[in-house]
Structure 1
């Protein structure tokens, strides 16, 4: 049946005379309660919150005294009671509601202070099934939703971050809350319970290995409001999902201007790429421009890896993002700051490196605290008209044992190492992707073209330009290997790579014309391996 419109307009200001405090996170709760009491506000509380207020010497009424019913079932049932929800939901100006409250001895609750059991943190810490379930809050969300619905008369807070605005309003309005504040906090309250339920449902889907649940929710907490999005006419903000994956969203910014939308997008691409390389095996550096790598290399040191990555495309690297798989040291910092760079992101940084970067005031330095696990499961989400496209994160990897040699010539050990390196890079290049590599460094990258042969030719031209910039007589692609993120539908892309000077190829295979492509490789004396896995990236 339809719900009748409200018959009573909510008052602009509502005095706070009675408050219910029930929080898991007790940050600031004692100070809040003390200030409420100085205003003569009656405080009702439960369990651990009541104990904390008692210990601080703050007068508080146990909720059980109000309801006439004790906490039972290890505290699972304490706030689910008519005297709680009636106090939150009653319309003060409705005679029928007022009569019901008086008849049943229900006192109004003007302020609800609640935050929830830490379900998200519990799951992120790797809790077992039973522990996760036990940390699903029931009474908290029920009270929050009730108070938020009745925001015409009740103010609700769901985070210690809300306390300053609440106290400021009480000071400014002689102990009352204005309607605008109650509205704003009600909206935040519903967003919080929605995010909480999204976390629970997402955890259940993952636990049950349900890749396509009937309803899918995604949520995040505001990390920062951005000046604008990809372009100045687009509004934008960064939201944190809380999955604790080290990266740009949670990194500590040591210095520099605030990150833009494009900075965040490109830095994420850079750090996810460089995380493909084990820091215990080698230093690795990725330079990203417009979400595509313009240079990636390994080396014995970060400074060496950076120099080799920069050589691939020094023009595009200007104004780019630099990601490191090891803590930034002074030697690498000295080289990086020689050209204009937007962002440096690394697991950590030495004090000497930080001091060197500090000379470039606008250069952002981000400390991520670790590398994201390139093999870890996760989801990616993209919006489409009236829908969301959801898929697993591309955590696919190949090892030497996974490769199938399909040509007469076997790759040499040096070629094989370069092929595996090139394959890791191709995974992070927009399709169609072609990557030339020599000596564990990119020498040419072709990205985002409609034709694979165009990508091969662009990458070859980049290799020629890089050689010219380095003062060399021949293209850096000569003697290189080449990776293709998907199969060659025709031999033309392969032949373009051979013409550029590549000697070995890594590609997924699976084309109807694989035999033609293999024959072309044999004719040119190329070694070719197939992975059986493709890495489209759109």
Structure 2
């Protein structure tokens, strides 16, 4: 497999060769990948495949940017806010389309120019949606007849289409070279199962909580650490990745969860843009409006509705049933205190911190069910 260039355009890249001769996990059906395209695709494919296996074969999708997911989701209902923004009807969408739309809508600003991944074959309906959004490529196990040709016309024929082999199993050990040294380790192959979710505080986990927490753990396994994830109804509404401080991840992801919920406020949905304003500009201005900026008059067909601090607070109080996962042990109770402000009712984390008792006590105070997995999921 030939790469267009390395990590940056000024870096050349050698052809990609399989670790085991003749065993190739992906095939290029259209386009030519870059180094980062391939990193995004391989991480995204592992995420959706693992999430689907952990959840009984449900359709899973991911929207990747810079080797971390901007969003991930299971197939399910697409709410009116997401449907309106993407110009689709909320009812009757197929499973793969709903999964990707929910994943992309988790953080639509970050998903601009994403790499998409689906656990199941891509159909014509999803291909038509992909034709309307800024997306660099897709990886999936298969494509319905005519879909590759349809996607191949995107980006002037440069849209990247990869087919993953669901039967491929990687080597038990993996290695990388860094500054003249070869680092090798056992591949992380622990299965994500409900048995990992051992309650340490609060009530027994219901099926919906188990689903969200397992999805969150699958997401963290392929997100640059430190990382945390807020999940609601099979959608990652906030992902915090790559921060040196875990509580900074928690705050960052919590702010994203709030924005996801506030985008559903009637005052935000009532922003009436002129017809010529593009979708991504509408998304960006929705978010800027929530951050205190009023869209310029030449963008709007009618004055922007008022959204007061009190209205925000009342709306955010309705964000509930959110599940929170952490790839590493919560070192202080501040993570729990912040998570509780964003509607979190369940937390899954490895445990084992010297302050784990304080974390558990904080969960009890906030009425949060805490599950200890005993499994750290760092990814670098």
TM-score for both structures, normalised by structure 1: 0.54
Q: State yes or no: 1:465 paired with 2:241.
A: no
State the partner residue of 2:40: 266
Deviations 1:97-136 (A, max 9, x none): xxxxxxxxxxxxxxxxxxxxxxxxxxxxxxxxxxxxxxxx
**CA separation of 1:235 and 1:398: change in aligned 2, threshold 3 A:** same
**CA separation of 1:275 and 1:421: change in aligned 2, threshold 3 A:** same
The answer to whether the Cα contact below 8 Å between 1:381 and 1:390 also exists between their aligned partners in 2 is: yes
| 1:224-373 equivalences in 2 (<5 Å) | 224=2, 226-243=3-20, 247=25, 250-253=26-29, 255-256=30-31, 258-278=32-52, 281-299=57-75, 301-360=95-154, 361-370=157-166, 372-373=168-169
State the partner residue of 1:390: 184
The secondary structure found in structure 2 opposite 1:522 is helix
* Distance (whole Å) between structure 1 residues aligned to residue 171 and residue 351 of structure 2: 25
Higher relative contact order (CA 8 A, sep 6+): 2
**CA separation of 1:237 and 1:468: change in aligned 2, threshold 3 A:** farther
Structure 1 unaligned residues grouped into runs of 5+: 1-222
State the partner residue of 1:515: 357
Q: How much does 1:314 deviate? A: 0.8
The answer to whether the Cα contact below 8 Å between 2:198 and 2:373 also exists between their aligned partners in 1 is: yes
RMSD: 2.1
* Distance (whole Å) between structure 2 residues aligned to residue 371 and residue 462 of structure 1: 36
Counterpart of 1:483 (choices 325, 335, 348) is 325
Structure 2 unaligned residues grouped into runs of 5+: 77-94, 267-311
**CA separation of 1:389 and 1:275: change in aligned 2, threshold 3 A:** same
State the partner residue of 1:405: 199
The secondary structure found in structure 2 opposite 1:275 is helix
Q: How much does 1:242 deviate? A: 4.6
| 1:418-429 equivalences in 2 (<5 Å) | 418-429=212-223
| 1:81-160 equivalences in 2 (<5 Å) | none
Q: State yes or no: 1:506 paired with 2:282.
A: no
* Distance (whole Å) between structure 1 residues aligned to residue 362 and residue 23 of structure 2: 44
* Distance (whole Å) between structure 1 residues aligned to residue 337 and residue 228 of structure 2: 13
The answer to whether the Cα contact below 8 Å between 2:201 and 2:370 also exists between their aligned partners in 1 is: yes
Q: Name which of structure 1's ranges 467-476 and 493-502 shifts more when overlaid on structure 2.
A: 467-476
The secondary structure found in structure 1 opposite 2:41 is helix
The structure with the largest alpha-carbon Rg is: 1
The secondary structure found in structure 1 opposite 2:8 is coil
The secondary structure found in structure 1 opposite 2:352 is coil
The answer to whether the Cα contact below 8 Å between 2:51 and 2:215 also exists between their aligned partners in 1 is: no
**CA separation of 1:480 and 1:344: change in aligned 2, threshold 3 A:** same
The answer to whether the Cα contact below 8 Å between 2:229 and 2:240 also exists between their aligned partners in 1 is: yes
Counterpart of 1:447 (choices 241, 247, 259) is 241
State the partner residue of 1:106: none
Deviations 1:366-410 (A, max 9, x none): 12243645xx65222222334211111221223222332110333
How many residue pairs get aligned? The number is 309
State the partner residue of 1:434: 228
State the partner residue of 2:88: none
Q: How much does 1:491 deviate? A: 0.8
